[in-house]
Amino acid sequence: MQLKGKTAIVTGGSDGIGRQIVLKLATEGCRLAILGRNAERLDCVVAEAIAAGAKEARAYAFDLTDSAALDATATTILADFDAVDILINNAGIWHKAGPLDSISPDLLVATVQINLTALMQLTRHMLPHLRERNEAAILNIASKSGVTAQAGQSVYSATKYGVRGFTDVLKEDEAETGVRVAGLYQSGTNTQMFAKAGEEVPNQIFTEPEDLADVVVFMLSRPPKIWLHEVRVEL
């Protein structure tokens, strides 16, 4: 796919992996719809994206656990941009590792809603519009936890295994359309995701988010006859 001029939606775009994906796509000359919860951080990323070469960049601040807000935001994005070519489902949260009964009911529900339910809802909104394009892509940023079971990650892993299953089925469903679907399954990344959950981990040994963003751009920019359905990135 030739990325210049393409319109891309990136969830979780205010920091971490999402921010780096936005900035890498900006250097390719994309138009960007950047989704996240923190309006102030999103505005900063919009300014960075424009400075980096984005043809257009807009921020959409809302809570992914709010289905009504998600529906309204999807409608607004479609009104603001004349087309959507790329959907990158990146947003996600972590729960502190531990037995299932150590995870609060509210956090359990929020993890499922943000990591899986909202991803499917937003994809459902955008899919008919992606099908209208000559070439389009959906890239789900999942996690190694969607491939390998790891102790203490019961709910998180459930959501990521769900993303993997959703990605694989969506790929089959869209095989005869112009929408290409892929999953990225990365190991630990040097972001604030763990700190936000109150867990101390040795982030410095993990993959850098800008390196993962390079992988995303590489996946999206393959020639028409090449598509990377699944990529795993490990330390």
Residues designated catalytic: 156
- Sheet of strand 179-186: strand arrangement: 56-61, 31-36, 7-10, 86-89, 136-141, 179-186, 230-233
Q: Are 64 and 70 in contact (CB under 8 A)?
A: yes
Strand partners, 149: none
Q: What separation in angstroms does the CA of 20 have from each of 34, 78, 81, 215? A: 12, 23, 22, 11
Structure tokens of 24?
A: 């890498």
Q: How far apart are CA 141 and CA 145, in angstroms?
A: 11
Q: Are 115 and 154 in contact (CB under 8 A)?
A: no
What number of H helices and E strands is found in the chain? 8, 7
**SS3 call for 28:** coil
Strand partners, 224: none
- Taking Cα atoms as reference points, which of 212, 193, 221, 177 lies closest to residue 23? 212
Find all residues with CB under 8 Å of 69, minimum gap 6, and list them: 62, 63
**SS3 call for 164:** helix
